[in-house]
Amino acid sequence: MNGQPIYRGFFTTSWRPPARATVLPWRQSGSSDWEALDSLNPRNLVFVPQTSIWFAKIQEMRLIKVVHSPRKQDPHHHGLPHSRDCFVCGEENPDGFRLKFEIDENQHIHLPFRARETMQGYGHIMHGGLQATLLDETMGWAAAVLLKRMHVAAELNIRYLEQTPLETDLVVEAWCVKSKPRMSMAEGVIRDHSGKIYTRASGKFVPISPEENAFVDSQLIYHDGDLRVFDECIAQVKA
């Protein structure tokens, strides 16, 4: 583990592993598959700090899977910055999604995710409001990368086409259809990897001021290879 400390054992909601911890299953046999995660004794969990995201908690002595499994970024995509506290991309927000935005060569934004059981509306279907949250953020980034300015939603329209399942690898994909200095229009979908679309959305987004954009950028976290979208805007503020 590259000399990193390992945390082994269970924890309650009053204690959580370090930020950006990876929760790995550990058994005497050395197995590392995830199929039997629910049946694992919580004392056989390993917490490895400073790595990608896996999180678990014990509540009323029941193991609940949270967030998403470690995954590699698509080699044809660039990463986008994220924050510490945002409900969607905040890497230190224990109650949020803790996701990572990516951008492809066509300026489409991708947000891979896996909804956990605590995100259901009813009957193991993902809550519609949380779907809208992911689409809002992803479409906002689609507008931001074209105008090099962070955008916020002015109007959202959501169409729920199919029941969006939990515990399934899905992707939010969004793109900008009209980009103007005062307002942009974007569209997005929630789909699976076969192309099946569960939810569609469209929205209008307005840019924030250059000064506010500079402040937001100062709060963002950039990892190696992440696209620096707002450098031009920040340079104008500093000039």
CATH number at residue 121: 3.10.129.10
Task: Answer for the pair 94, 56: CB distance below 8 angstroms, yes or no.
Answer: no
Residues above pLDDT 90, as percent of the chain: 54
Identify whether residues 57 and 150 lie together within a single domain. no
Identify whether residues 58 and 83 lie together within a single domain. no
Q: What is the mean pLDDT of residues 205-211?
A: 95
Identify whether residues 130 and 21 lie together within a single domain. no
Identify whether residues 138 and 118 lie together within a single domain. yes
Identify whether residues 82 and 58 lie together within a single domain. no
pLDDT of residue 68: 36
| Residue 152 lies inside a defined structural domain of this protein | yes
What is the tens place of the pLDDT at every residue in 218-230? 999 998 889 898 8
Identify whether residues 85 and 147 lie together within a single domain. yes
Identify whether residues 160 and 110 lie together within a single domain. yes
Domain that holds residue 34: 7-66
What is the tens place of the pLDDT at every residue in 52-68? 333 444 333 333 333 33
Q: If DSSP states are collapsed to H, E and C, what string results for the chain? A: CCCCCCEECCCCCCCCCCCCCEEEECCCCCCCCCCCHHHCCHHHEEEECCCCCCEEEEECCEEEEECCCCCCCCCCCEECCECCCCCCCCCCCCCCCCCCCEECCCCCEEEEEECCHHHEEECCEECHHHHHHHHHHHHHHHHHHHHCCCEEEEEEEEEECCCCECCCEEEEEEEEEEECCCCEEEEEEEEECCCCEEEEEEEEEEECCHHHHHHHHHCCECCCCCCCCCHHHHHHHHC
Identify whether residues 175 and 112 lie together within a single domain. yes
Query: Domain boundary at 32, 66, 100, which?
Result: 66
What is the tens place of the pLDDT at every residue in 101-127? 999 999 999 999 999 999 999 888 999
Residue 10 has pLDDT above 60, yes or no: no
Q: What tokens were used for 110?
A: 């991708």
Q: How far apart are CA 142 and CA 138, in angstroms?
A: 6
Residues in the chain, total = 239
Query: Domain boundary at 66, 87, 116, which?
Result: 66
| Residue 2 lies inside a defined structural domain of this protein | no
pLDDT of residue 73: 59
Identify whether residues 20 and 138 lie together within a single domain. no
180, with CB counted inside 10 A (0-12, 13-18, 19+), is: exposed
Provide the domain count of the chain.
Answer: 2
| Residue 187 lies inside a defined structural domain of this protein | yes
| Residue 72 lies inside a defined structural domain of this protein | no
